[in-house]
Amino acid sequence: MPTDTEFMHRALDLARAAAARGEVPVGALLVRGDEVLGEGANCPIGTHDPTAHAEIQALRAAGARVGDYRLAGTTLYVTLEPCIMCASALVHARVSRVVFGAWDPKAGAAGSLTDVFGIAGLNHRVDVFGGVLAEECGTLLSGFFRQRRS
């Protein structure tokens, strides 16, 4: 069975593809066991859709594939700490586990800016683990923004 690191490498490939399209380089995949149910990469610019984050794209693909919006027993791998919108969607989808790469001090909702996953009273708990390939994920993002500013 693939490891968290191996799945994160696939998420990085998706992030690089987003960067090649001029999108912020974030990639995500939703896995159950060793089966990838859905993949996504940031595409709000190209789709003119503010909700088209990598996590949302992966959730949509997985939901369509399994025929259900509830995705219990799954793990989401994403190269950047989820934002508030994505964290909330992951809770509503009943995702079991989130593994992310780089921390996002400006918009992260898994502990950096806020912790959506830790809100008392939510009807579902998500296990969260950050920092997998954090340096590689962070370098991809910082390089993208450095290039855009120059």
Enzyme catalytic residues: 55
The interaxial angle of helices 54-66 and 4-20, nearest 10 deg, is 110
Question: How far is the C-alpha of 32 from the C-alpha of 11, rounded, in Å?
Answer: 15
Residue carrying structure tokens 């987003």: 18
Judging by DSSP bridges, how do beta strands 35-41 and 75-80 pair with one another?
unpaired
* DSSP assigned state of 115: B
CB distance 59 to 90 below 8 Å: yes
| Separation CA 56–CA 147 (nearest Å) | 26
